[in-house]
Each structure stands twice: as structure tokens, then as C-alpha cells.
Amino acid sequence: MLTSLYISNIVLIEKLNLEFGDGLNIMTGETGAGKSILLDALSLALGARSDIGLIRAGCDNASVTAEFDSVNDKVKEVLNENGIDYDDGLILRRTLSLDGKSRAWINDTPVSVKILKQIGDEIVEIHGQFDNHSLLDPSTHLTSLDEYAKLQDNKFTNILSDTQKAYKNLASAQKQLKQLTEILEKSETERDFLEHNVTELRNLNPQIGEEEELATVRAKMMDAEKSSGILNDALDILKNNGNSLDEQICSVAHILERIKTDPNPYSETIDKLYDVASTVAEISEQIHPENTNVEDIDSVEERLFAIRAAARKHRCAADDLPKKLAEMEKQLNAIDNSDAELKKCKTALSQYSAVFNKCAKELSDLRKNVAINLRKQILTELPDLKLGSADFNVDIKTTVPNINGIDDITFMIKTNPGTPFAPLNKIASGGELSRFMLALRVVLNNPTNKKTIVFDELDTGISGATAAAVGERLNKLAKNEQLLVITHSAQVAGFADKHFKISKHSEQNTTTTSVNEITGEERLNEIARIISGAEITPESLASAKNLIKH
């Protein structure tokens, strides 16, 4: 629901902040007061094409902010796709400068005007001079008819669901057949290639995690080999090319023992030499170079390099090689068992096709019956809306199978007897179209469909009973959806849940438009003014009292 609309420097509006409510929001005012400016401003906030002519004279820029209190699922999807944060509310803002530049924001996040319009189309539908309402787009007619059908026939939802499920199975079978056919077409040229690669990978038999394990083992073996070399160098020094260092030290001690002086002046040194020799001998015994087998390293490296080479060849990670082997075995098996696989696939396709055709036919028949009821209800609405000469029909053509069946739906209308039916978007715009769209909206009214709907030019060329009928239908529609209606009809204005008066004021060389909510006596006087014109009479006041429904 649109909760507020803030407008700054748009044409005759200097500053304006409107707060709307549930149900039927009516706007009235004298001709030329600036009612169309409100729609221009709202449309700008919803992503309409910008026009610097909207900027108020003497100003450099203009802005519009529209605030909504809820976000539906389709809007959430667009917001998520574009990384826009939201809670439960939505704020659309648009600025326009004299240099022609336009900027847009959604919840204070800068966005393109395209995204702004995408969101705007989902939350507001304008019937009138802007013609951006969704029901004019034939692509929405099937969904609209189906929503109506769900309310009319309890079986419809199940049949639609069965059809969609059947189509998914059918589409999957078609895809499998296409893939198999493509494989078979390439089978002769690919068989040798697949056989060679399957045999190669089978012989290699790579395991998940094996590359990492082999790389770890290889690193440890290489470290051990380096350490062994270092230890051998140390032993070479200790052994001094065959003469161990401890023996050489002992030899020095033996030489010193040959001194016959008593006591021997080197006896203490001799004892130390023997201790050192013993320590060196002990150290030599503790150094054991690791015996790394070169053949073991070669074997590990050969296996590791073979796995990595296979991964590069098949352009995948080493751990994905088993999966790659399974895929190629499946392709090879499909080629080797092509006749059986092809027959199996065609059988499945035939079965799914039969199920889909049955469901789609039943769905199409239901739609045709529902379309008859829809036409009857629409035609019942038209005379009271001064559209008694108009006719409505639902054109159902058979199209290619799709997720929604086999039907192409277009809502058709003719406004005068003897003229051919034409799609809704081909008939004249204005009050006639707006009243027809009102009838269509009332009949299609879905309690779960929450949108803000704007009607303009709805009462062009009507009065009296017809205007009352329009008001009654707007009142009915407003029970489920928020409506903003610009009207010249007192009968329509009488149904308002909220009534806004649009006024134009001129002072010296300045003209401004203001909009104010009116209640009580002020509202009574406004409706009386619509009835009698500039001069409010007792009769018009009495009539106004009779018209006010809320």
C-alpha cells in the first residue's frame, strides 16, 4: 500500500506531503487545479520517462518520494537480485535536474531507472493516460485467467499443478533424448577417443585425496634425503676418510704416555684426551644417516606426476578424475548400448508426452469453461458502466507446449456492434477503457492480490446512475486493494474512505497547487460544489449528504 507521497518542485507544486490510507482514496478539484500533476509525480517515482518540463519554473531540480508499507514476493526477488536491503517497507525516490539528468534510489540505494520501473510496475497499476497497467499486456492474461479459475473451480489448481509437473518431466525427457542423439551423432569419431581415455584412467585408477597424500610423502622423502646427506658429511669428518677421530685422539694420548718423567707432566691432559675420544666415539655411534631408497622416491614421483598429468589433460582437479572417468564410462556405455538407450529414452518421452497432453487438454477445457463464465460476468458489469454496446471475449489459441499447458490467452474487446474484436491494448484509451478495466478488475478481483491501483478519467462522459455504478464497483474493489481515484463525479466521491481536495492558488506572479485531506463539513461542501458548480445551494448540500457513504 502507498502510505505517503512527497513532492518537491514539480510543475505547480512547491512542497507537498500526502498520506494515503487503506481502501478508496478519492481526489477531487476544479478543472485545471493540477490533478494530473499528481499522476505525473507518482509516475516519475515509479520509473516513468523523465521530462525536465516537470521541474517547477525558477527551480534547478525536482524530486518525488513514494513510500510503501509492504513488499510482495516478486518485489523481494528483484531487490535480492540487486542487493537492495529491505525490512517490510519500500521507499522509491527520484530526482530530476535541469540538465536532464535523472537519479533514482530504492531504500536509499542508488539504482537504474529500469530497476525502479521494474519495481514500480509490480506495486502500482495506473489506469488512465499513462497506460502502464498490467492487464493491457497480453502476456499477463493467462495468469489472470488462471487466478480467476482458481476461485471458480476447485479442481483447477490440481490440474494446473499436474500439468506443470508433467511438462517438467517431458522437458527433461526431451533434453535427455537430445543429449543422447548428439552423443550418437559423434559416436564414431568419439568412440576411439573415449575408449583410450577410459582405459588410461582405469589403469591409472586415481583415488580421491591421493594427489595430496603422494605430495606429502614425496616432500617427507625429499627432506629425509637431504638430512641423510648432511649426516654423512658429519660422519666423514668424524671418520676422516677411514681414520676415526676418536682413534686419532687416542693416538695422541699414547704418544704423550711415552714421556718417562715421573710424574708425567701431561698425565691430566692424557686423561682428558681419553675422555674426549670416548665422547667422540659415542657421538659417532649416535649418528645414523637415513637410508632413503632412491627407487622409492622415483616410484612416488612417477605416480604423482602421472595423476597431475591426467588432471591437466582432462582439465579438472586431481580429485575429480574418478568422476571424469565415470562420466566417460557413461558416455561410452551410451554409445555401446545406443539402440537400447535410444529406445528407452524414446519410450519415456512418449509416456511423458501422453501424460502432459492429457493434463494440458483437461486444463485447456477447464480454461475454456472458466472463460465462458468470465465473459458472462464481464458482460453483466458493462451496462451499468455505460458500456452496454461493448463486448468481451477470451481468445484461446493452441500454442507450443510449455509449463502452463498449450494455451495462448488474449483478452479481446469490441466497443461497438459490428466492429471486430481486438486485444485490450488496441482499443481507445480514456474513460471508456478505464471503466472497462474497472469491470475487469472487479470480476478478476483476487483477495491475495495486493496492489495500489490508480484510476484517472474514469468518469469521463458519465453521470447519474452510471457514476453511482462506478462508485459502487470502486468501493467493492477497495475492500481488497488500495485505490487512488481522480474523479469529477459526486457519486464516486461519496464512496471515499479518504477524500483529498486539489486546489490552485495564485499570488502576484506565482501559482501553486495544494492538496489537503478534507472531512466533515469541508468534504460535504466539496461534494456539493461538484454537484452545483461554484455556488453551493441548499439542494446541492442535501444531495451531497445523501451521497456520502463513509
Total Cβ atoms within 10 A of residue 423: 15
Confidence band (pLDDT; 50, 70, 90) for 188?
Answer: low
SS3 call for 205: coil
Phi-psi region of 237 (alpha: psi -120 to 50; beta: other; left: phi over 0): alpha
Give the per-residue pLDDT at 290. 59
Confidence band (pLDDT; 50, 70, 90) for 30?
Answer: confident
The amino acid sitting at 108 is D
Give the per-residue pLDDT at 240. 62
d(CA 126, CA 79) in angstroms, rounded, equals 22
Which residues have a Cβ under 8 Å from the Cβ of 293 and sit 6 or more positions away?
A: none
Q: Are strands 482-486 and 13-19 parallel, antiparallel or unpaired?
A: unpaired
Phi-psi region of 49 (alpha: psi -120 to 50; beta: other; left: phi over 0): beta
Minimum mean pLDDT among 128-132, 147-151, 227-231: which range?
128-132
To the nearest whole number, what is the mean pLDDT of the chain?
Answer: 85
Which of 368, 366, 373 minimizes the C-alpha distance to 443? 373
> Cα angle vertex 177, ends 180, 336, to 5°?
30
What percent of the chain clears pLDDT 90, i.e. is strictly above it? Answer: 40
Residues 286, 197 contacting (CB under 8 angstroms):
no
d(CA 288, CA 511) in angstroms, rounded, equals 104
d(CA 26, CA 306) in angstroms, rounded, equals 79
The tens digit of pLDDT for each residue in 398-448 reads 999 999 999 999 999 988 888 889 888 777 556 778 788 888 888 987 666
Give the per-residue pLDDT at 129. 52
Give the per-residue pLDDT at 130. 47
Top mean pLDDT of 61-70, 239-248, 333-342 is at 61-70
Give the per-residue pLDDT at 295. 60
- Residue 474, all three cell numbers: 470502486
d(CA 40, CA 360) in angstroms, rounded, equals 44
With 0-12 / 13-18 / 19 or more C-beta atoms within 10 angstroms meaning exposed / middle / buried, residue 165 is middle
Tell me the average pLDDT across 449-477.
Answer: 86
Place of cell 488462471: 146
Q: Is the pLDDT of residue 262 over 80?
A: no
- Residue 169, all three cell numbers: 518431466
Total Cβ atoms within 10 A of residue 313: 13
Domains of the chain: 1-131+446-517 (3.40.50.300), 520-550 (no CATH)
Q: Is the pLDDT of residue 273 over 60?
A: yes
Tell me the average pLDDT across 468-476.
Answer: 91
**What does the DSSP 8-state code read for residue 457?**
S
d(CA 241, CA 248) in angstroms, rounded, equals 12
Question: String of b and e for 320-346 (b: at least 16 CB within 10 Å)?
Answer: ebeebbeebeebbebbeeeeebbeebe
Q: Is the pLDDT of residue 257 over 90?
A: no
**What does the DSSP 8-state code read for residue 418?**
T
Q: Is the pLDDT of residue 51 over 80?
A: yes
What percent of the chain clears pLDDT 70, i.e. is strictly above it? Answer: 91
Place of cell 527551480: 59
Residues 168, 417 contacting (CB under 8 angstroms):
no
Which of 277, 280, 225 minimizes the C-alpha distance to 254? 277
The tens digit of pLDDT for each residue in 481-527 reads 899 999 989 999 999 999 999 998 888 788 888 899 999 999 999 99
Give the per-residue pLDDT at 229. 67
Which of 17, 21, 38 minimizes the C-alpha distance to 29? 38
The tens digit of pLDDT for each residue in 290-330 reads 555 556 778 888 888 888 888 999 899 989 999 999 988 88
What pTM was computed for the model? Answer: 0.67
d(CA 206, CA 193) in angstroms, rounded, equals 19
- Residue 216, all three cell numbers: 606429502
Confidence band (pLDDT; 50, 70, 90) for 183?
Answer: confident
Total Cβ atoms within 10 A of residue 146: 20
d(CA 550, CA 547) in angstroms, rounded, equals 9
Q: Is the pLDDT of residue 372 over 60?
A: yes
Tell me the average pLDDT across 175-186.
Answer: 83
The tens digit of pLDDT for each residue in 54-86 reads 999 889 999 999 999 888 888 888 999 988 988
- What is the 3-state secondary structure of 89-122? CEEEEEEEECCCCEEEEECCEEECHHHHHHHHHH
The tens digit of pLDDT for each residue in 191-233 reads 778 888 888 899 988 889 888 888 888 888 877 777 666 766 6
With 0-12 / 13-18 / 19 or more C-beta atoms within 10 angstroms meaning exposed / middle / buried, residue 19 is middle
Confidence band (pLDDT; 50, 70, 90) for 33?
Answer: low
Q: Is the pLDDT of residue 243 over 70?
A: no
Q: Is the pLDDT of residue 336 over 50?
A: yes
